[in-house]
Chains A and B, each alone.
Chain A
Amino acid sequence: MSDETTPQPSRSAESVPGTGPGPGPDSATPRADPGLRGAAPSLARMAAEAWWNTAAWAIGEAARASDRALRAARALADAAPVERPSPRNSRGESGGPTAGGRHESLRERGAELLRKSADVHFDQDSHPAYEHILEDLAPDEARIIRLLATKGPQAAVDVRAGMPLASQLVALGLTMIGAEAGCRYPDRIQRYLNNLNRLGLVWFSREKIEDPMPYQVLEAQPEVKEAMSQAGRLGRTVRRSIHLTPFGEDFCSAALPADTMEFEAVVDVRQEVDRD
């Protein structure tokens, strides 16, 4: 129900200070205080979940390492004879697998990775990159990927000027995603999308989406119209779309509380109201 919609924005509040060029803390202060205090339980829950995911992995790792390290290491040593120091290393690592990992050489970490991949008892719930990604996301970006996850690919247009084979680009990737997602800073949408693309969560498709309606509205937006008037008489729009990558989809289901799919929540609430 709707209490599950809270964690999402509250995490947004949490990541504000860390995002640097993202939303300024000043502008957030008037509401941040009660918001944060109110969201504390959900924040704590989120933090705990994140911690648990790491911890579960680390504990399993340590336990397995202690009784299988030798065998696995030997197997690895056989497979890659160059990696001679690895047996000693993985034994040393069994004490504190994550802390020690930072100081190892790249090659050793690579070997460790391969060792894990060879371990038949190793399992992993979610991708280890997700944690860093969460730190790298602005609150508005979380809204954007939620939109893409719940409503599917979104329309985008490029504006080009000139004849079809010798045209110049006037404006690139204009969308309504900022408004549709309810971003706090819709004018930063290009930056957000670049970041999401950099993280591999979204991709910019050259194809158009099936439904022409979103383009109709998008092409009536002032930004597009302005670009069209810049492009002059031969200006035209090229219809494209913006999608979640499979990686992004998985990230959404792993890291964004499933219940923030507010549409289900809304349906529930509405039914309840009707019943009453």
Chain B
Amino acid sequence: MDSETISLVTIPIFTGAIGYLTNWSGVWMLFYPVHFAGFRLPGLAPLAHVLPRRIQQIPGVMQGGLGWQGIIPSRAAKMGSIAVDKGIAKVGSPSDFYQQLEPEAIAEHILTTARQDIRDVVERIMERENPRMWNDMPPRVREAVHARVQEQLPDIVREVTDEIGENIDQLLDVKLMVIRRIEEHPELANRIFLEVGKRELRFIINFGFFFGFACGIPTAYITEVLLTQWWVLPIAGVIIGYVTNYLAIKMIFEPVEPRKVGPFKAHGLFLRRQPEVAGIYGEIIADDIVTIGNIGDDLLYGPRSDRTRQMIETAMRPAIDRAVGPARTAVRVAVGTRTYDTIRQSVATEAVEYTMTPLTDEEFNRRQSAAVKKLITARMREMGSADFSEMLRTAMREDEWLLYLHGAVLGFGAGLVHLLIFG
């Protein structure tokens, strides 16, 4: 075989490699690196403000960095927001989720874990506010105080969980909670796609090779017979690289509704498996995003946490009065109204932490998440194809051009490489 023939035969192999590489690296660029990797280019940050919006959207550019961050992790916050609008919010309101998490079981769990903590809280506060009286108290009386407080606990906790349930819509903003959570853990966004689309992603990469190879045959014909110019191959590389990436994206998400094409059924690859995908999606949401622990965390530290705290404190204060019981007036006089009120307030505020922290217990979370998982999975299966596609695709829609461009650049490069080797 002369070099001419070798050059000709290798063209389809090269274009196949282009297709494989562009799709492989395109998929990689979707997910990795999870955090921005690159370097700061001096002077880029101020310049970035006047660049076109499209360029600004490249991960890192607005911070003056030159490098890359996986498209999905870099858009995680936005994806979380869309996931709530298109998915979670349609699945249920905050109170739906709360009901699924069984307030009864939550109360029970708080009670079993918080008993000792509350005892410590009382002990500590009494030491602080009125150490003399507390130490002078006969141990029997002190125990009686503890016993009374403990006796009140079930009522208090139930009151708190009921109150939360009634007012959950005011205490919890699911969208912000999801955004916050997914922003902190961009790898969760990756997991949704990686687990949901493992097979599809594999298929796309392989498809790149076959499609590229198939395109290589006419390309070889063109380069050798029709147009023997040197620049034909790099240009063909650009087209092949671009088209493979373009087709890959289209195949994942389109057509949105199943369409019959001859004997085949055309349907977006991700969308075809909606029932399965819904199951995995529901699992990730229930296990890692809308969990009791995260809800508890948001209730106590989120943007509306002051409301929760105030509510719990309000529920606590009369309970302390009840704990002191009939002796209340006497106690009030003995320790002074002011100290009494301080003690009451301190117990109320410090107990807030202890009522909510048991919720972060992992074992408990796992047990309670099953119901949420079922709810999300069931409703997501019923979701219309259009909404389902929108939910998955919006995250990367505005970055798709970057993937196409990257395919084109790789194709161009591969064309040049072929030229270098075979002339």
Do these two chains interact? yes
Q: Considering the complex, which residues of chain A in the window 1-53 have a beta carbon less than 8 Å from any beta carbon of chain B? A: 1-3, 5-6, 8-10, 31, 34-35, 38-39, 41
**CB < 8 Å A-B pair total:** 87
Assuming the contacts A3-B349, A212-B62, asked whether A38 and B313 have C-beta atoms less than 8 A apart, the reply is yes
Q: How many residues of B contact A (CB 8 A)?
A: 43
Q: A221-B85, A273-B353 are in contact. List 20 more A-B contacts (CB 8 A).
A: A2-B352, A3-B349, A6-B309, A31-B311, A38-B310, A39-B310, A39-B314, A179-B173, A180-B176, A180-B303, A181-B303, A182-B173, A213-B183, A216-B78, A217-B77, A220-B82, A220-B85, A220-B394, A262-B306, A272-B353
Contacts of B300 in A (CB 8 A): 266
- Distance, CA A2 to CA B306, complexed state (A): 8
- Distance, CA A5 to CA B311, complexed state (A): 11
Closest B residue to A35 by CB, please name it: B314
Residue among A147, A182, A216, A276 making CB contact with B307, cutoff 8 Å: A182
Closest B residue to A2 by CB, please name it: B349
Contacts of A272 in B (CB 8 A): 353
**Inter-subunit contact B62/A31 (CB<8 Å):** no
Contacts of A273 in B (CB 8 A): 353, 357
Interface string of A164-189 (1 = CB under 8 A from B): 00000000000000011110100000
Residue among B176, B307, B317 making CB contact with A179, cutoff 8 Å: B176
B53 interfacial by beta-carbon distance below 8 Å: yes
Whole-angstrom distance between the Cβ of A49 and the nearest chain B Cβ = 18
Closest B residue to A216 by CB, please name it: B78
- Distance, CA A39 to CA B73, complexed state (A): 44
Whole-angstrom distance between the Cβ of B315 and the nearest chain A Cβ = 8
Contacts of B63 in A (CB 8 A): 212
Assuming the contacts A9-B306, A212-B56, A220-B78, asked whether A184 and B170 have C-beta atoms less than 8 A apart, the reply is yes
Whole-angstrom distance between the Cβ of A255 and the nearest chain B Cβ = 17
**Inter-subunit contact A217/B313 (CB<8 Å):** no
Assuming the contacts A31-B167, A222-B85, asked whether A262 and B346 have C-beta atoms less than 8 A apart, the reply is no
Contacts of B85 in A (CB 8 A): 220-222
**Inter-subunit contact B175/A179 (CB<8 Å):** yes
Interface residues on A, range: 35 or more
**Inter-subunit contact A35/B310 (CB<8 Å):** yes
Whole-angstrom distance between the Cβ of B318 and the nearest chain A Cβ = 8
**Inter-subunit contact A220/B81 (CB<8 Å):** yes
B120 interfacial by beta-carbon distance below 8 Å: yes
* 5 contacting pairs across A/B (C-beta < 8 A): A3-B348, A9-B307, A34-B314, A38-B317, A222-B85
B305 interfacial by beta-carbon distance below 8 Å: yes
Q: Considering the complex, which residues of chain B in the window 12-50 have a beta carbon less than 8 Å from any beta carbon of chain A? A: 49
**Inter-subunit contact B314/A2 (CB<8 Å):** no
Interface of B is mostly: helix
Closest A residue to B175 by CB, please name it: A179
Whole-angstrom distance between the Cβ of B402 and the nearest chain A Cβ = 15
Q: Considering the complex, which residues of chain B in the window 139-176 have a beta carbon less than 8 Å from any beta carbon of chain A? A: 167, 170, 173, 175-176
B267 interfacial by beta-carbon distance below 8 Å: no
**Inter-subunit contact B53/A217 (CB<8 Å):** no
Contacts of A220 in B (CB 8 A): 78, 81-82, 85, 394
Whole-angstrom distance between the Cβ of A216 and the nearest chain B Cβ = 5
B250 interfacial by beta-carbon distance below 8 Å: no
- Distance, CA A230 to CA B346, complexed state (A): 53
Contacts of A41 in B (CB 8 A): 341, 345
**Inter-subunit contact B346/A3 (CB<8 Å):** yes
Whole-angstrom distance between the Cβ of A173 and the nearest chain B Cβ = 19
**Inter-subunit contact A10/B77 (CB<8 Å):** no
Contacts of B120 in A (CB 8 A): 276
B179 interfacial by beta-carbon distance below 8 Å: yes
A260 interfacial by beta-carbon distance below 8 Å: yes
A59 interfacial by beta-carbon distance below 8 Å: no
Contacts of B303 in A (CB 8 A): 147, 179-182
Contacts of A182 in B (CB 8 A): 173, 302-304, 306-307
Contacts of B82 in A (CB 8 A): 220
Whole-angstrom distance between the Cβ of A189 and the nearest chain B Cβ = 14
Interface string of A104-139 (1 = CB under 8 A from B): 000000000000000000000000000000000000
B203 interfacial by beta-carbon distance below 8 Å: no
Closest A residue to B62 by CB, please name it: A212
A269 interfacial by beta-carbon distance below 8 Å: yes
Contacts of A243 in B (CB 8 A): none
Closest A residue to B306 by CB, please name it: A5
B301 interfacial by beta-carbon distance below 8 Å: yes
Interface string of A261-276 (1 = CB under 8 A from B): 0100010010011001
- Distance, CA A182 to CA B310, complexed state (A): 14
Q: Considering the complex, which residues of chain B in the window 95-129 have a beta carbon less than 8 Å from any beta carbon of chain A? A: 120
Closest B residue to A262 by CB, please name it: B306
Contacts of B179 in A (CB 8 A): 217
